[in-house]
Amino acid sequence: MAVETIPGSLPAPAPDTAGARTSEAIKKSIRRRYAAERRFRIYGVAAILFGLCFLAVLFWSILATGYTAFVQSSFKLDVFLDRTVIDPSGQKDQNALMTADYTLLARKALASALGVDTADKRAMREVGALLSRDVDLEIRKEVLANPSIIGKTLPIWVLASGRVDNLLKGQLDRNLPAATRKLSDQQVAWIDKAEAEGRLEKRFNTGLFINGASSNPETAGIGVALIGSLFMMMTVLLLAVPLGVAAAVYLEEFAPKNFWTDLIEVNINNLAAVPSIVFGLLGLAIFINFAGLPRSASIVGGLVLTLMTLPTIIIATRAAIGAVPPSIREAALGVGASKMQTIAHHVVPLAMPGILTGTIIGLAKALGETAPLLMIGMVAFVVEYPTTPMSPSTALPVQIYMWATSAERGFVERTAGATLVLLALLICMNLVAVILRRKYERRW
């Protein structure tokens, strides 16, 4: 349409007045066209800004929810490790040490710190509610590590309950009525007192990184999930990389052009686009039902992720091998190397940076993959560290999913915290890939 308003296409009118009219029309149309041009440009900028803003909001929202997960409120208690409670027989019997009532010791220590009468049962119950339900495990760990401390009074940092933690982090409004706050006025007063005396503070949350599953938010951690994910990444690395590189070398260097090779290529391209959940179904049907591997084992997860990562690695490796110039191959063949020697000694080493970059990107994708792992029973409550790839474990993204769908308030910040850990790992991996590419990329 714009082209039709160009003067040449108009019937030649009478000079002077008509010429002025024409130039007016042209100016008008040009203004209109330039306005359209500007609008178009603005749409483009807006689209890009939309994407970037979303990225910023996403990161900010997760950071804002999650950064508090890296600290956890703890009480510093002078615990009197009463011999009559821990070890009445005096034999330091393991069984007795394991089953002693450490919770009572912690409650007494907190009560004396807050100036509460230990005989007042109601008050004692309220005091006890300030401590984590797993407080006995922490004291027990100290005692088992060094039984000679029994009978002494030691300062020990123990975790506060999830409610106290929420209050300290400002996630719980202290002006709410006591019933909805689930902390009595007396308890809030105690918390303020302990905080003023320096007995209650937020400390770095090592438990987040080393603990396994727990139904109490304050002691739940991603330790098991990290190890499970590590096992899976090892499996992928050990299987997908050799298989992928070998397949790519065959397809790029040896394969004759025939139906079979075409079939393989079409397959690889399609596998790269198959929904990940389908791979999970494959894993469930083949590895678990047919081959009889255990559910929830990280080896099954690793195998499924291997099949998923394989196309990525093959495609990246083929691109890297294809970029090695034929002159290198011809030189090697010219001095008498066999074809296999040429490829093993020259082509693959030269393509290595590209292969590594593709591998790292494939691994990063596998690390964040969740859906197929849900199919093979990785949604599990695992407390103990997995020792082999066959033992039950979870994976980092699955742990995030489990926490995200659990109801308790305390898990929200853990979820976001674990997500931050996942994102940090992914960013590191991608940075390594970028650095590798920058450093070793060669232009032939």
Contacts to other proteins from residues 306-335, by CB under 8 A: 307, 310-311, 314
Structural contact between residues 433 and 360, judged by C-beta atoms closer than 8 angstroms: yes
Contact with other proteins (CB under 8 A) among 221, 228, 397, 417: 397
Beta carbon of residue 418, minimum distance to other proteins (angstroms, whole number):
10
Side-by-side strand order, sheet with 200-204: 153-159, 71-80, 200-204
Q: Which is nearer to other proteins, 85 or 352 (CB)?
A: 352
How far is Cα 118 from Cα 131, in angstroms, rounded to an integer? 16
How far is Cα 203 from Cα 226, in angstroms, rounded to an integer? 22
Q: Which is nearer to other proteins, 161 or 399 (CB)?
A: 399
Instruction: Provide the strand spans (E) within 104-215.
Output: 153-159, 200-204
Structural contact between residues 250 and 239, judged by C-beta atoms closer than 8 angstroms: no
69: left (phi over 0), alpha (psi -120 to 50) or beta: alpha
Beta carbon of residue 13, minimum distance to other proteins (angstroms, whole number):
21
One DSSP character per residue, 327-344 reads: HHHHHHHHTT--HHHHII
Does position 360 interact with other proteins (CB under 8 A)? The reply is no
Here's the x/- map for other proteins, 231-270, by CB under 8 A: it reads as -----------xxx-xx-xxx--xx-------xx--xxxx
Contact with other proteins (CB under 8 A) among 15, 198, 292, 336: 292
Does position 374 interact with other proteins (CB under 8 A)? The reply is yes
Here's the x/- map for other proteins, 37-66, by CB under 8 A: it reads as x-xxx-xxxxxx-xxx-xx--x--xx--x-
Spatial CB neighbours of 357, under 8 Å, sequence gap ≥ 6: 316, 433, 436, 437
Return the residue matching tokens 């987040």.
208
Q: Which is nearer to other proteins, 40 or 444 (CB)?
A: 40
How far is Cα 409 from Cα 162, in angstroms, rounded to an integer? 9
Q: Which is nearer to other proteins, 112 or 261 (CB)?
A: 261
Beta carbon of residue 110, minimum distance to other proteins (angstroms, whole number):
33
Does position 34 interact with other proteins (CB under 8 A)? The reply is yes
Q: Which is nearer to other proteins, 176 or 277 (CB)?
A: 277
How far is Cα 82 from Cα 154, in angstroms, rounded to an integer? 11
How far is Cα 317 from Cα 245, in angstroms, rounded to an integer? 6
Q: Which is nearer to other proteins, 221 or 362 (CB)?
A: 362
Integer distance in angstroms from the first to the last C-alpha of the chain? 48
How far is Cα 313 from Cα 171, in angstroms, rounded to an integer? 45
For the segment 136-165, give every residue that binds other proteins (CB under 8 A): none
Does position 419 interact with other proteins (CB under 8 A)? The reply is yes
Cβ-based neighbour number of residue 233 at 10 Å = 22
Does position 426 interact with other proteins (CB under 8 A)? The reply is yes
For the segment 62-91, give every residue that binds other proteins (CB under 8 A): 62, 65
Does position 430 interact with other proteins (CB under 8 A)? The reply is yes
Does position 13 interact with other proteins (CB under 8 A)? The reply is no
Does position 112 interact with other proteins (CB under 8 A)? The reply is no
Contact with other proteins (CB under 8 A) among 423, 432, 436, 437: 423
Which span sits near other proteins by CB under 8 A: 114-122, 173-181, 346-354, 396-404?
396-404
Contact with other proteins (CB under 8 A) among 109, 389, 401, 421: 401
Residue 15 burial (10 A CB sphere; 0-12, 13-18, 19+) = exposed
